[in-house]
Structure 1
Amino acid sequence: MFYVLLAASCSVLVSVLLKIARRHEVDVAQAIGWNYLAASILCWFLLQPPLHSLQQPGTPWPSLLGLAVVLPTLFLVLAHCVRRAGIVLTDIAQRLSLLLSLLAAFLLFGETASTLKLTGLGLGLLAVVGILARPGQAAGSGGVSAWPALLTVWTGFALVDVMLKHIAAAGTPFAASLQLSFGLAFIGMATWLGVRAARGGAGLTLRNCAAGLLLGTLNFCNILFYILAHRALSAQPAVVFASMNIGVVVLGTLVGVFAFRERLSRLNQAGIVLAIVAIVLIAMGKS
């Protein structure tokens, strides 16, 4: 369970960095760009991706290329969401994307819809309603509604999960798909940032580079520790799944409320409880 705790901590720390970036005069877009360079380098040395596997017939290039576009776009939305809605609600919206992933598994990948999974799905949808209830005011963002950003995070992470499932179903190794996606995401972000700078936008700075490399290290470590947790508890994947998601919800709530004084409405609080119950039920349905 130590790896699960490390993975959950890295996930929450990513949100913390995005939360404090503007306060420390960090250009989030640049940081996200450098993040993919760090993640790509770490992936290459630590996971040793078999890139030759991408030359096999049947490689799902639309999903791989789509992932390279969706990942950085979603990261930008995530940063906006953390500022508007706060860490607590953003992390929960991200974790509850598993509801849409589960629905896609039923409809697209032939997964069996058990009573526990369907009950968890229903409670999870109620949890989504709870966290979308006036989140802008609840997180202290001056009354600006944050529900569009939360909704985008919720659906966006589900889309990423569906793409990864499609890539896995095609037989493409996970490490190879990560390496390609991170590399292409960095190239895409670097191109966009270069064009933006040429048009008078923010120039590249060492501060933004350092913040991005730290962000990328945490981002990749979140993935790495989650993989190691599954290897350490290979006979209990449902336990890892539930522990990771509940861990992020609980840690995110503690950090958001006590470190950043994010305010939660009663509906938001009810949504958090329902989210935890939904995760447990879905995990039990998977076991």
Structure 2
Amino acid sequence: MINLLFSIIASTLIFIVFKLFNKYNINTFQAIVVNYFAACVCGLITYDSPIHIQDIVQSQWFYGAIFLGFLFISIFYIMALTSQKLGLSVVSVASKMSVVIPVAFGIYAYQEGAGVQKITGIILALIAVYLTSIKSNTTFSLKSLWLPIILFFGSGTIDTSIKYIETTYVADNGIPIFTATIFSIAAITGVLILTTKALKKQFAINFKTIFGGIVLGVVNYYSIFFLLKALNFENTESSTIFTINNVAIVMLSTLIGLFLFKEKLIFKNWIGIGLAIISITLVTLA
């Protein structure tokens, strides 16, 4: 469980970094592109075997990594649009409630346990994510509803695909190079987008954006690296890992927002935090 704990901490640090982007007026999309380069470098440094491009291209997980690379940066962009149009609380609800997709896949595809206690914990987890993330001024516009829907299915597809590809094709010592490849594909895609903007004279980058992107890339890489390590641990079900991971991130991020950024919590948020603790306990003990 130590790998899962590190993944939760790293994922929560992503929340803090994004908050600091707003404070220091850092261009979010440019920093995201830099982040993928930094995350790729982290993967290459962590990998302790010789790196051969031909071996990577010929590996069974390569096309899956390409798919995930495109999906990573696409969902990040959808997250940005959703937060701008509907608010951060809607982003949190849509992305974290998507945990139901990999959980259902794990139970169906890998015959993972689905006892009364575990199912109760998962249901409470979904309620907890909703109550913890929702704000009093959260409203949905039918015209913009497609954004959280895409975010929901996109986030769920990422988690499910990572689990399936890692379990089926990636060796334990191959996790660093697998994640590095995903991030490199995302980085290349981002560069192509930025190049298009540069040609239209809509592009300018500065040192603080590069620095912010590097910091984001390091924590982003280790959030995925430790999640994969946790999923790869024997006798640990993915439905349990994903439930605990997502609920803990929402709960911890909410508490950090309260104490570090002086965000205000409504009564529903506190109920959600309480349910999150109960759901994590139920799913873990199950």
User: 2:120 maps to which residue?
Assistant: 119
Indicate if the aligned counterparts of 1:12 and 1:91 stay in contact, CA closer than 8 A. no
Map of 2:257 onto structure 1: 256
When structure 1 is superposed on structure 2, of 221-230 and 275-284 the one drifting more is: 221-230
Q: Which residue of 1 aligns with 2:169?
A: 171
For 2:46 and 2:132, locate their aligned partners in 1 and report how far apart those are by CA, in whole Å: 37
Superposed, 1:84-123 pairs within 5 Å as: 85-86=87-88, 94-123=95-124
1:195 Cα deviation from its structure 2 partner: 0.6
Identity of aligned residues (%): 23
State the Cα distance separating 1:26 from its structure 2 match.
0.9
Tell whether the 8 Å contact from 1:80 to 1:149 is kept in structure 2 after alignment.
Answer: yes
Name the CA shift for 1:166/1:224 in 2 (closer, same or farther; >3 Å): closer
CA contact 1:136–1:147 (8 Å) conserved in 2: no
| TM-superposition CA deviations, 1:56-75 (whole Å, max 9, x none) | 4xx25553222011111223
- Are residue 186 (structure 1) and residue 174 (structure 2) matched? no
Letter in 1 for 2:261: F
Per-residue CA deviations over 1:222-279 (Å, capped at 9, x if unaligned) read 3445567789xx67857x9487556534431221112223233323332333233223
Maintained 8 Å contact 1:92/1:249: no
Matches within 5 A, 1:1-287: 6-48=6-48, 52=55, 54-56=57-59, 59-60=60-61, 62-79=63-80, 85-86=87-88, 94-131=95-132, 133=134, 135=135, 137=137, 153-173=151-171, 174-224=175-225, 237=236, 241=241, 247-285=248-286
What amino acid is the match of 2:159?
D
Aligned partners of 1:216 and 1:178: how far apart in 2?
12
1:19-68 residue CA offsets vs partner (Å, 9 max, x unmatched): 23133121100000000110101100113476626514xx2555322201
Structure 1 gap ranges (5+) = none
Q: Report the CA distance between 1:104 and its aligned residue.
A: 1.7
Counterpart contact for 2:31–2:209, Cα < 8 Å: yes
Q: Partner letter of residue 168 of structure 2? A: A
SS at match of 1:253: helix
Q: CA deviation at 1:190?
A: 0.7
Whole-angstrom CA distance in 2 between matches of 1:190 and 1:169: 30
| Cα 1:226/1:113, change in 2 over 3 Å | closer
Deviations 1:67-101 (A, max 9, x none): 01111122334456667645x88667655543321
Normalised to the residue count of structure 2, the TM-score between the two structures is 0.77
Would the aligned equivalents of 1:120 and 1:278 in 2 still touch at CA under 8 Å? yes
Tell me the secondary structure at the aligned position of residue 21 of structure 1: helix
Cα 1:92/1:259, change in 2 over 3 Å? farther
CA contact (8 A) 1:91 1:248 kept: no
Question: In structure 2, how many angstroms separate the alpha carbons of the residues matched to 1:284 and 1:94?
Answer: 25
Distance, in Å, in 1 between the alignment partners of 2:4 and 2:164 is 25
Separation in 2, partners of 1:277, 1:186: 39
Distance change >3 Å, CA 229–CA 172, structure 1 → 2: closer
Return closer, same or farther for 1:121/1:181 CA change in 2, 3 Å cut-off. Answer: same
* Gap runs ≥5 in structure 2: none
> In structure 2, the residue corresponding to 1:172 is in which secondary structure?
coil
CA distance in 1 between partners of 2:250 and 2:189 (Å): 31
Residue 264 of structure 2 aligns with an amino acid whose one-letter code is: R
